[in-house]
Amino acid sequence: MLSKEQLRSLRRSIDEVDRQIVRLLKRRIGLARRIGEVKRLLEMPVRDLDRERAVLEGVGKMAEAVGLRKEGARAIFREIIAACRGVQEATRVAFLGPKGTFTEMAARSFFPPAGTEFIPCPTIRSVFRRVQTGDTPYGVVPVENTLEGSVTATLDQFLASDLMVYGEVELHVEQCLILAPGTSLEDVKVILSHPQALAQSRNYLEERLASAELREVSSTAEAVRLLSKVPHAAAIGTELAARLYGMRVVARGIQDSPRSYTRFFVLSEHDHPRTGRDKTSIIFSVEHVPGALYRALEVFAERGINLTKIESRPVKRRRWEYVFFLDFEGHRHDEVCHEALEALRRRAILVKVLGSYPTWGSA
């Protein structure tokens, strides 16, 4: 008769087999990723149905040879093949463009450039639309800056959208002075950039280029692109944009404040699983009566949950009424956070969870 110790021993043996299977899966996926790179170089399609059929046929024969059901083995390998095919396909990520913006830099900080296709979009709304329609599984948009405050276009889209926050990126905003090849600082008569970049670099410009005309354009990346068309011009933009358009950086960190950071959200149809170092973003609204906001926030204080941000936005359909955007530490599936959200729903007239995601820099 088997004892409990024998049962535990058998389970330990299964655990060891599982570890071997996982290691082999990792090796197979790594090989598939390398095959994907070769396919891209040869401009071959990712999916090869003849190869998949041959693999499944071979798996069936191997299974029967060792006494396993071939259909069961094939079902398992169909999932393995799908996982391997997934690493060969480029992940499509929409971002607020054009190319060379800080948002693209944020997207490249979150997603590995190898195997990722970055798709510029003209507006924040169009980034949301790309993800909502399934054209791209992810999107990246700015949400707030330490000096300029929140990006209201992003917050307003969340009110109308069912998309969730999958991740966040915090990026140090380093403005660069950029020139076209062959242009010197002494030649500069016009400085091109986005209005915010011009304002953030006011001290540098007044000290070194006081006589130059300041000309506003739609983005810092567009300013860099225009250097090839506007004579005697300089641009304020990103080092990435300078590389993309073949320009040269002559000064880095020209912004007035070294403490300028922009936070970005990674959009998806779902949020991120728990990591133990998470943050949650929500929207809520309360009745327009004394003490309503106090009672809403009390559910977090009572449970020792730290709030990292709270901000109000007007409800556009009603005068002088507001919704609140709030971030707190923890994941919505953590027991204490779940309890707080349930308590908030009993005290608020609207609670919308935007998502839980790893805190940037916590890994």
Q: How many CB atoms lie within 10 A of CB 207?
A: 9
The token pair that represents 30 in the structure block: 């790594």
Bridge partners of 358? Answer: 278
Which helix (H) or strand (E) is 342 found in, with range?
A: helix 335-347
Q: Is the peptide bond before 258 cis (omega within 30 degrees of 0)?
A: no
Burial of residue 149 (number of CB atoms within 10 Å: 0-12, 13-18, 19+): exposed
Beta strand 91-96 pairing with 116-121: parallel
SS3 call for 206: helix
SS3 call for 308: strand
- Total number of residues shown for the chain: 363
Q: By the 8 A CB rule, do 131 and 94 touch?
A: yes
318: left (phi over 0), alpha (psi -120 to 50) or beta: beta
Q: Looking at the annotation, which residues are catalytic?
A: 262, 264
Q: How does DSSP classify residue 275? A: -
Which helix (H) or strand (E) is 193 found in, with range?
A: strand 190-193
Q: By the 8 A CB rule, do 324 and 315 touch?
A: no
